[in-house]
């Protein structure tokens, strides 16, 4: 199933239009058909964790948290558990970024040097 290794890593999973998240039409099909496959979920996770930014990444993490929240109620238990774990993870990452930004604004720390592969 090479498709489950490559496609989920390269597929644009969602688009953000104004404040709405629009899920790629192919993603629900993949989750419904192959949602019990660890390779699919691992590669979707890799996709979600691959992005670039400058400054603080709170908005990136909170957007990804909101995106995976859409799948918490998925009929496949494995997909729902995967989504719940990512909601927690992205929530924690977002909170950490908010804390760092508050520390920066208070002058406690300097602005972070961030790189795309952090």
Q: Quote the pTM value.
A: 0.83
pLDDT tier at 115 (50, 70, 90 boundaries)? low
- pLDDT exceeds cutoff 80 at 117: no
- Distance of alpha carbon 94 from alpha carbon 18, whole angstroms: 20
Show contacts of 12-16: CB within 8 Å, 24+ apart.
13/44, 13/47, 13/48, 13/67, 14/67, 16/63
At 26-40, the pLDDT tens digits run 999 999 999 999 999
Per the structure block, which two tokens stand in for 12? 């644009």
Q: What does the block give as tokens for 63?
A: 């957007």
- Helices assigned H by DSSP within the chain: 3-10, 26-34, 38-48, 58-69, 77-105
Mean confidence (pLDDT) of the chain:
88
pLDDT for residue 111 is more than 80: no
């Amino acid at each position: 199933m090479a498709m489950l290794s490559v496609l989920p890593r390269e597929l644009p999973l969602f688009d953000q239009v104004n404040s709405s998240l629009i899920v790629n039409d192919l993603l629900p099909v993949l989750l419904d058909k192959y949602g019990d496959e660890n390779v699919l979920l691992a590669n979707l996770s890799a996709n979600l964790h691959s992005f670039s930014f400058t400054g603080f990444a709170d908005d990136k993490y909170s957007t990804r948290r909101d995106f995976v929240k859409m799948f918490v109620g998925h009929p496949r238990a494995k997909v729902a558990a995967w989504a719940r774990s990512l909601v927690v993870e992205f929530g924690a990452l977002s909170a950490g970024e908010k804390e760092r930004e508050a520390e920066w604004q208070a002058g406690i720390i300097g602005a972070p040097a961030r790189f795309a592969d952090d």
